[in-house]
Structure 1
Amino acid sequence: MEQVIRIGMDTSKSVFQLHGVDALERPVLIRKLQRRAVVPFFARLAPVKVGLEACGGSHHWARTLSALGHDPVLMAAQHVKAYLRRGKHDAADAEANCEAMSRPRTRFVAVKSVEQQAGQMLFGVREQMVRRRTQLSNAIRGHAAEFGLVAAKGLAYVEPLLARVAADDGVPALAQELFNMLGEEYRATCTRLAALEKKLVAHYRQDATARRLAAMPGVGPIGATLLGIKVGDATAFRSGRDFAAWLGLTPKNHSTAGKTRLGVITRAGDEMLRQVLVVGATAHIQQVRRGRIPASPWLAALLARKPPKLAAVALANKNARIAWKMMVTGEPYRCDQAGSLAPASPPSRPS
């Protein structure tokens, strides 16, 4: 077999398709492997660059291939699709991976460690618990309203509503039993969510980068911890603007004939991270408008001419850029008079 310089690999649960080329870009390796045969095959193969789509299980395989001496790269599926020819099948997907990874403008996804993936799992499970708690509280409210029992908005009123239902003789025994089931599940979900919050706080306290990022207005411990987990190596981005664009916080460009037209934000990239940054910025602006905290001159000028929701997205964009600089340089957060990250002072020379 000719010397393989690059391999595109299409992964699945049980079948893996390989497409390798030599230095002349000729296909010299087209092979299908069962899952159990992947590691032995690459263990015998000379070190080579391997391209995979960033999908389920891809980070595990990237770590495995790296441990075997290879150079794995991960690519977003939408970037690989442009190189997919003819119909979609395993062989075509592997060929598209091999082609996409060779292009100089292809952007790769940083391989996450097992610790980073555990942190992502923590946030994902927490988000599921929050959604489940909301579903249960809405179900309790909706069913109680059918029996003439209503409560004010807010989670603080769910338990009093359940107590009123239990004390109401007009609610049939079957409905009482069902309300008890919903109440037990609601309390169990709240207990699990509180335990997850403690784990999140513990993770935040152990992460020096997250503690520095939390000093930014509108970020807080949750946003700071999520930034540290999701981003990984911030040096993969050339600038803060590129980082904000990766998060989908920059406007769409519809420019033509020399006329610049900017639209809504792209909303590309990681939805959870973007949502946390925007929600945090919204909460910060609410505190400013209520007079509880002072606003930076930049934010005050922005709120004077733009609606609060647009200002929240702008603040999230600004925070993302500052966060990138802090992660790259290791600087602490320092706010100057314009509300921007102050430049680092040069170190003093020893006398």
Structure 2
Amino acid sequence: MNATPKPVVGVDTAKNVFQLYTVDKQSGELICQQLKRPKFLAWFVNREPCVVGMEACGGSQHWARKLKELGHEVKLMRPKMVKAFVPGNKNDVADARAIWMAAQQPGVKAVAVKTEEQQAVIALHRIRQQLVKSRIAQCNELRGLVGEHGETFAVGQAAFDAGLKAALARLAERLPSFFIDTLREQWEEIAKLTERIARIEARLRAWMRQDRAAQAIAQIPGVGVLTATAAVATMGDAKAFRSGREFAAWIGLVPAQTGTGGKVRLLGISKRGDSYLRMLLIHGARSVLYHAKEPSKWLQGICQRRPSNVVTVALANKIARTIWAVLAHERTYDKDHISIRPGMTTTI
């Protein structure tokens, strides 16, 4: 006999006000209720286990963990997938109803519920990313300011430090001291950003030494500290994906499609999902492509047929699939491993 399906509750979360939407399966009564933040969890305490649908937005991971502790099943969904179920005007009730409807659709992929530790690792990556952006912006500003006085130097952080030191020494001979002092102070701020970035990377390395999953995928060519820690923390449970291709599609490393009348045309990569993890995988693939001492036969063959950027994305896709295989099957990376579909045999 088929098990009775769990009731579904759609929740539109906010900072202080939560809108609930559900239908009682026995009486058919429509329950559309607004709760304040302190009373939100209390509403679920004595209720039978149900499926709680929510948008994957700020604070949703915290509430998902709390609801799972109470015995409920949580389905986090991307806001883009929920938006399709809002037919008219947008308000809290319409959003909660759309979430309730989307949570019952089998084609709407759920976002993994992460642990607090995984969220903390992702937070480190986000802070580091902002520090890197700030450092690049300030370096470019200094480049422009000294460039106005005829000083230029090569691209790169090392070239910037060496070039700026020499440029300031030359400019100090003919420009006001207050201007040179201000440039030096700005340069010191950039050095502080570099130190903060290095400390965050050291913390990520320390966490990776304690996490078996991150250590396992760090053996894959093109996967370093940043990619390994970001992949483990972002993916959550690898077994939530049915295959490596589904994981690669979730990151946006597969072609988008358009078609009508039975004719399907493949476009560039879809760029869906986490753009930060996708960027790390592509940079890692580019590093393998340029620095591999003994490239595989697959890589050599595709390099002869496709442009370098296409090869880079294809290799990033393969790295993503390998990451999923290592984590989902809980095994170590083996460069000579040959994947065999169930039911197939090989001959030597």
Q: TM-score, normalised by structure 2?
A: 0.90
Maintained 8 Å contact 1:5/1:22: yes
Match of 1:165 in 2: 168
Please state if 1:302 is matched with 2:306.
no
Matched, 1:244 2:248: yes
Tell me how far apart the structure 2 counterparts of residues 181 and 276 of structure 1 sit (CA, whole Å). Answer: 32
Q: Report percent identity of matched pairs.
A: 39
What SS does structure 2 have at the residue aligned with 1:254?
strand
Partner of residue 347, structure 1: none
Match of 2:344?
none
Q: Could you give the per-residue CA deviations for residues 7-48 of structure 1, whole angstroms, max 9, x where no partner exists?
A: 111011111111111226945311111112212322243432
Correspondence for 1:349: none
Tell me the equivalent position of 1:100: 102
**Alignment partner, residue 58 of structure 1:** 60
CA contact under 8 A between 1:322 and 1:341: conserved in structure 2? no
Give the residue type in structure 2 aligned to 1:299.
L
* CA deviation map 1:163-193 (0-9, x unaligned): 5315622222331232133112101101101
Question: Do 1:47 and 1:71's aligned partners in 2 also have CA atoms closer than 8 Å?
Answer: yes
Residue in 2 aligned with 1:334?
Answer: 334
Pair 258,85 (structure 1): closer, same or farther in 2 beyond 3 Å: closer
Question: Which of 154, 157, 181 is 2:156 aligned to?
Answer: 154
Partner of 1:18: helix, strand, or coil?
strand
C-alpha contact (below 8 Å) 1:74/1:109 kept by paired residues? yes
Give the aligned partner of residue 267 of structure 1.
271
Structure with larger RCO (C-alpha < 8 A, sep 6+): 2
Question: Following the alignment from structure 1 to structure 2, what is the Cα–Cα distance between the partners of residues 8 and 193?
Answer: 40
| Structure-to-structure mapping, 1:1-351, within 5 angstroms | 5-23=7-25, 26-160=28-162, 161-162=164-165, 164-166=167-169, 168-288=172-292, 293-336=293-336, 341=338
Structure 2 residue matching 1:51: 3-state secondary structure:
strand
Q: Distance in 2 between matches of 1:192 and 1:169?
A: 33
Aligned equivalents of 1:35 and 1:109: distance in 2? 23
User: What is the root-mean-square deviation of aligned Cα atoms in Å?
Assistant: 2.0
The one-letter amino acid paired with 2:18 is F
SS in 2 for 1:261: strand
Unpaired runs of at least 5, structure 2: 1-5, 342-348
Rounded to whole Å, the distance in 2 between the matches of 1:313 and 1:22 is: 48
Q: Are the equivalent residues in 2 in contact too, given 1:240–1:324 (CA < 8 A)?
A: yes
Could you tell me how far 1:314 is from its partner in structure 2? Answer: 0.4
What residue identity is the alignment partner of 1:43? V
Q: In structure 2, how many angstroms separate the alpha carbons of the residues matched to 1:266 and 1:17? A: 33
Letter in 2 for 1:322: T
Structure 1: unaligned runs, 5 residues or longer = 345-351
Q: Which amino acid aligns with 2:120?
A: A
Q: Normalising by the residue count of structure 1, what TM-score does the alignment of the two structures yield?
A: 0.89
Provide the C-alpha distance between the structure 2 equivalents of 1:178 and 1:43, rounded to a whole number of angstroms. 59
Closer, same or farther in 2 for the Cα pair 1:341/1:183, shift >3 Å?
A: farther
Q: Which amino acid aligns with 2:117?
A: E
Are the structure 2 counterparts of residues 101 and 87 from structure 1 closer, same or farther at C-alpha, using a change threshold of 3 Å? same
